[in-house]
Amino acid sequence: MLDHSGPLNSLGFAKAPEDTRVVVAMSGGVDSSVVAAELKAQGYDVVGVTLQLYDHGAALAKKGACCAGRDIHDARRVAEEMGFPHYVLDYENIFQDAVIDEFADSYLAGATPVPCIRCNERVKFKDLLETARDLEADCMATGHYIQRKVGPAGAELHCAADAGRDQSYFLFSTTPEQLDYLRFPLGHLPSKDDTRTLAAKYGLAVADKPDSQDICFVPNGDYAAIIRKLRPEAAAPGDIVDIKGRVLGQHDGVVNYTIGQRRGLGIGGLADPLFVVKLDPEAKQVIVGPRDMLATRTVPVREVNWLGDAPFDSRATWDVAVKVRSTRPPTDAVIRPTGPHTAVVELVAAEAGVSPGQACVFYDRGSSRIFGGGWIHQG
């Protein structure tokens, strides 16, 4: 826990910045680079760490994703410019086991996974955080757009000040123990422009570097190509059927389809449009139906990470707002815990396209606080 025996520095410690060591997780992008530069300029004992997460040779040819070869070079350059040590850690095997394999298996099972959440949960905020402790750092800082605030019961997770940059959906699985150790220096900034202004202020070469858009190990967003490479059986052909089991067409692999998809089904000529409402990998079937079949109000979740002050299952219900996709705004819901880490979430208004494998993230209806979340599964 934090030492509150004297005046606190900007990272919340009762000692001078130069006596406070902070490990900065550096992806090579503008956000984490600004965090490192700003903390160094404030006098902190900064150590930069960049993770090599997948094949370095392949990474060198790929732009626009974090942790690739070019990005390692950019992170190292920032460290040299600002005058703090920088280390590159080979986490390729850990990343393969903890993130990529599950991503492939989840897609193969008909789910729509979110590997960036698993990477934060299982790699950055687990193994890298332990490395930061091994380096005797007081805390670890990242360039995520989210806020950490200290409340009556300890550290709390809050949405970023800039709603357009908020990354709370991808950080819901941060545990209270991790949150106690983590810092997010950019979460309070009004806009991304402020980050780039700071990058220019420090003369960082990455000041105008574009934001990464893709999942780092999925070139050009082509998930299916990665799955076919990792799990060739995913390309097995099968039938496209309606909800009564009637065959309407053929497909070239369940992995090429997602819940809610309408285009590219190859079953034109029907009176009403049909959407993918379910995937059955075992039967090699893509099940289609009318749009209203996509709407649901009941969302089963598991692996719940609860960030409320009272135990999750200490109450029969929790009135919250939830996000069932990263791109959607929070909507009112009631959580009904069924155990310490499982629940049924009942949406006040039905949502379309709720997909197994996605996250359901819990928000306080009356503030910016995040209460954690869970993983959506087939009920």
119: annotated active-site residue:
yes
Q: In what order do the strands lie in the sheet with 275-280?
A: 247-251, 238-242, 285-289, 275-280
* pLDDT for residue 162 is more than 70: yes
> Are 160 and 167 in contact, with CB atoms under 8 Å apart?
yes
Percent of the chain at pLDDT exceeding 90: 59
Supply 102's token pair.
């599950």
How large is the average pLDDT for residues 346-353? Answer: 92
Determine the Cα–Cα distance for residues 198 and 34; give it in Å rounded to an integer. Answer: 7
* pLDDT for residue 23 is more than 60: yes
Catalytic residue among 67, 116, 119, 159: 119
> Are 251 and 224 in contact, with CB atoms under 8 Å apart?
no
Judge: domain 236-289, CATH 2.102.10.10.
no
- The sign of the torsion formed by the CA atoms of 75, 187, 157, 363 equals negative
Q: pTM for the full model?
A: 0.88
| pLDDT value, residue 5 | 57
Supply 378's token pair.
């087939």
Catalytic residue among 66, 67, 139, 216: 216
> Are 338 and 374 in contact, with CB atoms under 8 Å apart?
no
Which range (161-170, 224-233, 261-270, 323-332) has the least confidence? 261-270
Q: CB under 8 Å to 298, separation ≥6 — which residues?
A: 344, 345, 346, 347, 379
pLDDT digits (tens, 9 = 90+) for 269-287: 667 889 998 888 889 999 9
* pLDDT for residue 291 is more than 70: yes
Q: For the range 220-225, what are the long-range contacts, defined as Cβ-Cβ under 8 Å and sequence gap of 24 or more?
A: 223/107, 223/255, 224/253, 224/255, 224/256
Residue by residue, DSSP assigns 181-206 as HEE-TTTT-S-HHHHHHHHHHTT-TT
The domain limits of the chain are 17-220, 236-289, 295-376
CATH no., domain 295-376:
2.40.30.10
Determine the Cα–Cα distance for residues 289 and 245; give it in Å rounded to an integer. Answer: 11
CATH no., domain 17-220:
3.40.50.620
**Dihedral (C-alpha) 164, 208, 128, 181: value to the nearest 10 degrees?**
-50
Which range (5-9, 25-29, 50-54, 214-218) has the least confidence? 214-218
The residue assigned the tokens 């150590």 is 47
216: annotated active-site residue:
yes
Cβ burial of 280 (10 Å; 0-12, 13-18, 19+) is middle
